Amino acid sequence: MSRQKWRERLDDAVNPIVVKELRQAVHGRFLPSLLLVFLCFQLATLGVYLVTEGASGIDLLEGASHGEEVFGILVSLLLFASVICVPIYAAVRMARERSNEGLALYFISTLPPRRVISGKLASNLIVSALLFCACLPYLSFTYFLRGIDLPTVFAALVVGLAVSAGGILSGLVLASMRVSKILRLLLGLVGLGWLALLFSASIGWAVSLRRVGVASYLNRSDLWGPALVVLIPSVLLCGLLFVLAVALVTPANANRALAVRGYITLAWLLATVVVVLDSFLRSGPGDLVVLWALIAYWSFAISILVAICGRDEMSQRVAREVPRSSWGRMVAFPLFSGSANGVVWASLMIGATLAVNELCNRRFSKPFSDLAGPHLGFCAYILAYALLAVLLQRGVAARWVRRDQTGVLALVLITILSLIPPIIAFLLSPAAVSDSESLGLWLILNPFAVFSEPFDEVAIYFACGWAALMVVLARRWLLQQVLAFQPVEDG
Amino acid sequence: MMLVVEHLKRTFGDVRAVDDVSFTVAGGEIYGFVGPNGAGKTTTLKILATLDEPTSGDALLDGISLVEQPERARRTIGYMPDQLPTHRDISVADYLDFFARAYGLRSQERQRVLAELEAFTNLAGIRDKPIHTLSKGMKQRVSLARALVHDPDLLLLDEPAAGLDPRARVELRELLLALAGQGKAVLISSHILTELSEICHGAIILEHGRMMRAGPIRDLLRGPTRHTVVRLRALEAPGEAASGDDTPAAETPHPQSLAREALTAPGVASARPIGEELELDIAGDEAVAAEVLAYLVGRGVRVVEFRLRQGGLEDVFMNVTRGEVQ
């Protein structure tokens, strides 16, 4: 095959979004400006440092920590550009293309959503990589100033690029949501907070790497344990963000929950195997179990609130994918798109997490109430509030609250019902409610009551009872969707 | 190619933007989509372009549901919005190249198609210009070229002639006729009804989201009408001529007083002086028009010309809509 043919094949294989985004980045003002400012800052930082240190009579090549200091400054600049600026750039562009006013027409081309998101991710990662390339000569120069080794420089760059990918994906997820301007603003603020968190975490990692020096750990086995503990969840989180972003740009009547719930279920299984093995190796549940359980409980509780915003009616498109066998349908029901499906899935996952949590505790003689009890109560509260919001939205509040706002309604209910009883108590007797302990049963509608002694047990039992009652009251809503979960008739 | 729209509905809260719209368009036909502002034209076109989802109802393109299988249907739909979404920092050639790639056109085929499109839409001279610097007319051409890049069977054009100069409108009309000649179905929304009636085989008239009439133009023109428009010229009454000037009384029309006189006739909804003539909008058919003529003659009006104005799409539109917007 001729070189021309190969070039054409390669050209055809490139994601169209990457081609478009990079062409726009090259012709636009953002990237050249960022690159120029970034290079000037680095040059100025290095220049000022060398001049001031040189002027003070210190032999730069003899000092042990000059490279380390300059490295710290340069890496901070690099991480700011790649973890804050590039994800914001990616998110703003995506949000503009997803807005109702200027919805980009490639969303109605034959490009699948997966290619759209992977193209966005790749093009913005290339922009980040360009910044890293611009920084590389300066960072390498710090090696000659002593106090830093090249593997550390390389490791810091890898961490930085990975965090940048996480930031870009987070930005794409938030920007892919087609919401009102107010909610978009709120999401923007949440995104900024999240990016600031990622930035500070990545600075922390870079500082830790600089302190320990990666080169001295390269031949030691204890490098990979902590590295994997950070790496695996990070990769899983990036995967989840990718799947979420793809689901958000997929048409609403598609079975878009399947990929998300399937991915989370598999990630949960993988994490469960790891933490159980870790517990057995340590002969007792360690911090990893606690971290795993906390992430699982909170994620699935939030999933309930997200699920109730979904559709009650199954689209023809989803119905076409419903398995014909009853066993297949039983497995598929929680994973498929639909509001009740999501609630069932999240409840099952909470139950499974509780079971594993409890098994680990019993195996290693730990009391039940450590983690599982309060979180069982907390998730029961969330389920009860979610079902209450469903009943209200599908019933009396349908005129004022849209179906896709049911989760927000649940949050409003949680806030109101958590606050009003203590306020009444305060109005009745200000002196008697000086702290949470004295409030007692006035906090019974607050989901966080399960975490405060001595009423935690009462709150847990109350939450479970209330959730069971709400399930009974919402049985028609649940059963209708379960019974409607049938495949499309042939013809 | 056959587009079948079945009971399409789209609501935004309490507002029914599209309310039970059904029609059929076949390949090679140009259908005008007409209605006052807020009638639901753009919403319907967006649903047909798979940019939006209907609250209920469906549209089938050769049997493929636009609601259930939008990805499949998109291969055969070309959509041109009323305004090209803002695209900064990208040239015309790069923009079209991106869409050709997005529709999966391979290297050599892509180059061939883009060269043909540039020639067809006359874009060759501006191919390297950034899109955001182009005039409205040029952007419309780019938008049309983009909609055609994957050779769709159905073209949905939302106000394609808006903002175009007269020459560009004539050229657009010729382009649309050429596309229909290639067997493509074209659904075009526009306010310029005279232009639509020249090129459209049929029309769909919307108001308040409801479909008032739909069908081939000849059927619409032949259909029952609530109004008849006539042009009237009459000589001034002898008494009125005594104004003191030298103009011969018999040659001086007096449309204002004639209009007042005409409005007293039963069935005359409005009377509008147009030069020496008077245009009467008569609520009713030709029989009512004849009664109006008899009434005016009976009142001593010296009618020298009374002719029915040839109806067009504009008349049909005026007849079936009330001009209210949502």
Interface contact B132, partner A, CB < 8 A = no
Under the banding of pLDDT at 50, 70 and 90, the label for residue A157 is: confident
Q: Enumerate the residues of chain B whose CB falls inside 8 A of the CB of residue A107.
A: 51
Instruction: Give the residue with greater pLDDT, B220 vs A411.
Output: A411
Under the banding of pLDDT at 50, 70 and 90, the label for residue A61 is: low
pLDDT value at residue A243: 96
pLDDT value at residue B24: 93
Q: A110, A320, A399: best mutation site toward chain B, by most B Cβ within 10 Å?
A: A110
Kindly determine whether residue A20 and residue B130, on different chains, have CB atoms separated by under 8 Å. Answer: no
Q: Enumerate the residues of chain B whose CB falls inside 8 A of the CB of residue A252.
A: 53
Interface contact B74, partner A, CB < 8 A = yes
Assign B10 to helix, strand or coil. strand
Interface contact B6, partner A, CB < 8 A = no
Interface contact B122, partner A, CB < 8 A = no
- Compute the distance between CA of residue A228 and CA of residue A226 in angstroms, rounded to an integer: 5
Percent of chain A having pLDDT more than 70?
A: 89
Rounded average pLDDT over A471-486: 94
Interface contact B92, partner A, CB < 8 A = no
Q: Is the pLDDT of residue B163 over 80?
A: no
Kindly determine whether residue B85 and residue A104, on different chains, have CB atoms separated by under 8 Å. Answer: yes
Which tens digit of pLDDT belongs to each residue from B184-216? 999 999 877 777 777 888 889 898 899 988 888
Under the banding of pLDDT at 50, 70 and 90, the label for residue A490 is: low
pLDDT value at residue A251: 84
Kindly determine whether residue A27 and residue B90, on different chains, have CB atoms separated by under 8 Å. Answer: yes
Percent of chain B having pLDDT more than 70?
A: 89
Kindly determine whether residue B103 and residue A253, on different chains, have CB atoms separated by under 8 Å. Answer: no
- Compute the distance between CA of residue A320 and CA of residue A258 in angstroms, rounded to an integer: 14
Instruction: Give the residue with greater pLDDT, A46 vs A303.
Output: A303
Mean per-residue pLDDT over chain A, rounded: 86
Assign B9 to helix, strand or coil. strand
pLDDT value at residue B249: 46
Interface contact B151, partner A, CB < 8 A = no
Please determine, for the modelled complex, whether the ipTM score is greater than 0.85: no
Percent of chain A having pLDDT more than 90?
A: 41
Q: Enumerate the residues of chain B whose CB falls inside 8 A of the CB of residue A104.
A: 85
Q: Enumerate the residues of chain A whose CB falls inside 8 A of the CB of residue B51.
A: 103, 107-108
Q: Which residues of A touch B (CB under 8 A)?
A: 8-9, 11-12, 16, 19-20, 23-25, 27-29, 96-97, 102-112, 251-253, 315-317, 320
pLDDT value at residue A220: 66
**Highest mean pLDDT (candidates A39-43, B57-61, B305-309):** B57-61
Kindly determine whether residue A316 and residue B75, on different chains, have CB atoms separated by under 8 Å. Answer: no
Q: Counting one residue from A and one from B, how many pairs have CB atoms under 8 Å apart?
A: 86
Q: Is the pLDDT of residue A474 over 60?
A: yes
Q: pTM for this structure?
A: 0.81
pLDDT value at residue B103: 93
Q: Enumerate the residues of chain A whose CB falls inside 8 A of the CB of residue B99.
A: 105-106, 109
Give the residue among B162, B144, B141 at the shortest CA–CA distance from B152: B144
Which tens digit of pLDDT belongs to each residue from B276-302? 888 888 888 888 899 999 999 998 888
Kindly determine whether residue A107 and residue B51, on different chains, have CB atoms separated by under 8 Å. Answer: yes
Q: Enumerate the residues of chain A whose CB falls inside 8 A of the CB of residue B154.
A: none
Q: Enumerate the residues of chain A whose CB falls inside 8 A of the CB of residue B79.
A: 105, 108
pLDDT value at residue B237: 64
Give the residue among B103, B22, B11 at the shortest CA–CA distance from B53: B11
pLDDT value at residue A129: 92
Under the banding of pLDDT at 50, 70 and 90, the label for residue A435 is: low
Instruction: Give the residue with greater pLDDT, A186 vs B171.
Output: A186
Q: B66, B103, B107: best mutation site toward chain A, by most A Cβ within 10 Å?
A: B107
Q: Which of A96, A112, A317 sits opposite B68 (nearest CB)?
A: A317
